[in-house]
Amino acid sequence: MPPFPKGFEAKNKVAIIGAAHSQLGRRLERPTGALAVDACLAAIADAGLDVKDIDGVSNWPATDGQGVGPREGYNSAHVEWMVQGLGIEQVNWWQSGGGGNIASAVTTAMLAINSGICENVLVWRAMWQPRSGRGSGTRSAAELEAARTRPAPRVSDEAAYTAPYGIGGPGGFASSYMRYMKMYGAKRHHMAAYALAARHGGNNNPYSVFKDQILTYEDYMNARMIADPLCLFDCDMHVDGAAALVLTRADKVADMKQKPVYVTAYGSGGWDWRLRPPEEWQYASSGNIGRTLWAGTDMTPKDIQGCEFYDGYSPDIYWWLESMGFCGRGEAAEFIQNGMIERDGGLPVNTFGGNISEGRLHGMGHWVEAVLQVQGRADDKPGDGARQIKDVENMLVCTGMLAHGAGAILSKEPR
């Protein structure tokens, strides 16, 4: 493995000291901005800080996009609106936007602290689920007919070689997953191991939209297909809600309220997914993340007690596990069997339920869970069941996929 360029300069210099959720749910009555404020104030309090202590803010995305609406405060929580809404008096640095997923916001927060611009940076992700119809969550007969008869959009450039064939959204991931299955002999029943493990985590997570809904093997195998071979339970659940983190200088954590969680390794990856065959989309980005992350540390996969991997769709887990070195290419389907990725297994994965069983916060739920696991606090929320991994020293969290993403090792002690 080639040496990491210049080393990971923020290693052991950044710590996460606060983590929190707002309420999560389907079509909640509260505005997105209010949910974001809830999560941010809770994370700041969790860190033992006041709003006046925050001197940096980071968010993604900056403008309208997935999970972000056009009305500030109502269905979005942009940086400028949040600074005013929270009453932050001095912001030495703020960032919004950037390439893909909440990983970009966490990354830039680390860099701002490491460069000395800020001491305490607040990062959040607020999601809004678009409504259908007139506030009831349903469409009228006229709206359904209009959607059925609407002409297909025209595409150009490289999209002309992908969009007409369904490569985009679930269709794109389905083609990659199908190719994986054909190449390596994986079957749908193999993926049931992940779906059920994630739901077990979601059942023990008071914030999960599926906390009260049990999933059985029969439920999974008989589920409605969305884009063969992706079924209903392979897809992330869109929700309203928010989650937040507070990052700080590691040399300032001695008297903090919570145990610090040190960022001890970091990796990033990106690729133009449109220019690669479907079966290589995920390997391109996750492979870059894995190479850069392991090159910046003397740790190996054997030092990791659990993983929080972004799961826009269930098969993401295969590409993460293989790209991060936990098993060989084509081996993930067998690797996850026999309780391996359950909380008490050899490598617990997405102990909180992941996107498919907590709800999609574009990766922020994964970062929050990794922090709580390292701090040993995954079970101390009111009404929570047992999801804390025993004797956690290092958690690996990776969010993003396709053309973007980042990963980090979060540790109990500096490494």
Q: Provide the token pair at 358.
A: 């907590």
Do the domain assignments include residue 54?
yes
- Show contacts of 377-382: CB within 8 Å, 24+ apart: 377/258, 378/351, 378/352, 381/206, 382/206
pLDDT at residue 140 in the model: 59
Question: Looking at the domain assignment, is residue 210 inside a domain?
Answer: no
Q: Three-class SS of residue 124?
A: strand
Number of domains in the chain: 1
Residue at 55 is within a domain: yes
pLDDT of residue 65: 62
Tell whether the model's pLDDT for residue 64 goes beyond 90.
no
Is residue 33, in this structure, part of any structural domain at all? yes
Residue type, position 288, single letter = N
On whether residue 43 sits in a domain, the answer given is: yes
Instruction: Please tell me which residue, 344 or 69, carries the higher pLDDT value.
Output: 344
Of 125, 127, 128, the C-alpha closest to 57 is 125
Q: Which of 84-88, 213-217, 229-233, 366-370 has the lowest mean pLDDT?
A: 84-88
DSSP string, 256-283: -SS--EEEEEEEE----GGGS-GGGHHH
Average pLDDT over residues 28-50: 95
Q: Which of 8-22, 172-186, 299-313, 384-398 has the least mean pLDDT?
A: 8-22
Contact, 96 vs 59, CB < 8 A? yes
pLDDT tens digits for range 83-133: 999 999 889 878 776 555 788 889 889 999 999 999 999 999 999 887 654
Look at residue 402 and tell me if it is in a domain.
no
Does the residue 42 lie in any domain? yes
155 vs 302: which has the higher pLDDT: 302
Residue 60 lies in a domain: yes
Provide the pLDDT for residue 104.
83
What pLDDT was estimated at residue 103?
Answer: 85
What pLDDT, on a 0 to 100 scale, did the predictor assign at position 353? 97
State which residues form the domain around 39.
14-130+239-252
Q: Read off the pTM.
A: 0.90
Dihedral angle, C-alpha 96, 99, 105, 108, nearest 10 °: -100
- Residue 288 CA to residue 295 CA, distance in Å, equals 11
Show the tokens assigned to 143: 């709206």
Residue 60 — very low, low, confident or very high, per pLDDT cuts 50/70/90? Answer: confident
- Which CATH number does the domain housing residue 69 bear? 3.40.47.10
Q: How far apart are CA 248 and CA 256, in angstroms?
A: 10
> What span, in angstroms and rounded, lies between the C-alpha atoms of 286 and 400?
8
